[in-house]
Structure 1
Amino acid sequence: MAFSASARDSMVAEMNITPLVDVMLVLLVIFMVSAPLVSQPIQASLPQSTPPIDTTRPQNLRLTVGDDGSYRLDDRMLTTTELWQRLDDAVLSDPRTTLQVSATSNADYQRVVTALAEARQRGIADIAVQQP
């Protein structure tokens, strides 16, 4: 009574990887087809950086109209044409130039109004009228 093991009765201990390879190939094809569809560029408008804030102070001029109708710009006596030229130069050097206008108590009103109008015409937007 000898026991013999026939080839039919023995079990094979190998794993069948054919179905695993088939599934992996199908997944590979699916990813290869869907990858170009997923990688389309996104249209997004990103916020732009704001320009740096200018922290320098604007040029500040002080104009005084005297009793005799004379003009003094920063305590310097000027003729009418010199004053207009200095105002033009100031606006060219700094467009944010400010002008403080003051008049003595007996100053000619017309000279003050003329100075204000000329300063405005020359491009000075910030004009302040003060008492001396």
Structure 2
Amino acid sequence: MGMNVGTDSTHEDEGIVDINTTPLIDVMLVLLIMLIITIPLQTHSVSIDLPQGNPPPPTTEPKIDTIDIGYDNAISWNGQPVDEATLQADLRQAASEPDQPELHIHPDRLADYRTVAHVLALSQRLGMTKLGIVGLDQVMDDQ
């Protein structure tokens, strides 16, 4: 009553017919690496005209107009005291120049904010684009 499981007498005489693929894979990888190494690199280039060196500095200094606002809210244009109408005329003339000058506004630390804001708004309204407040270091020293 015994039973022989797993053995088949017809297949015992045949050998293993599967091919060992490990050496085949190794040879193929070596051939692939050799092929990759020997293929010439294709270089794609784009010709770009780069500037040579630093550009020369500007030959002329920009014109600078100054507006001083005193502690008593008195306004001066380039050191000369002016009233509202003269300030508007000077700003309009400066804004109409082809090479617009820089406008430096020097407010005193005791000047009213309303006066400084009015001068800034007036400058922008009349077309001044290069303007800035100068002299904030005196305010920063007090803090």
**TM-score relative to the length of structure 1:** 0.54
- Matched residue, 1:73: 77
For the 8 Å contact 2:94–2:100, the answer to whether it is kept is no
Specify which of 120, 124, 130 is matched with residue 116 of structure 1. Answer: 120
Give the Cα–Cα distance (whole angstroms) in 2 for the partners of residues 95 and 126 of structure 1.
11
Gaps of 5+ in 1: 1-53
AA matched with 1:128: G
Q: 1:115 to 1:93 in 2, by over 3 A?
A: same
- Matched residue, 2:86: 82
Superposed displacement of residue 58, structure 1? 3.6
Output aligned runs, 1:34-45, within 5 Å: none
- Matched residue, 1:105: 109
Give the Cα–Cα distance (whole angstroms) in 2 for the partners of residues 68 and 61 of structure 1.
21
Give aligned pairs, total. 79
Percentage of identical aligned residues: 20
AA matched with 1:125: T
Give the Cα–Cα distance (whole angstroms) in 2 for the partners of residues 74 and 61 of structure 1.
6
**TM-score relative to the length of structure 2:** 0.50
AA matched with 1:108: D
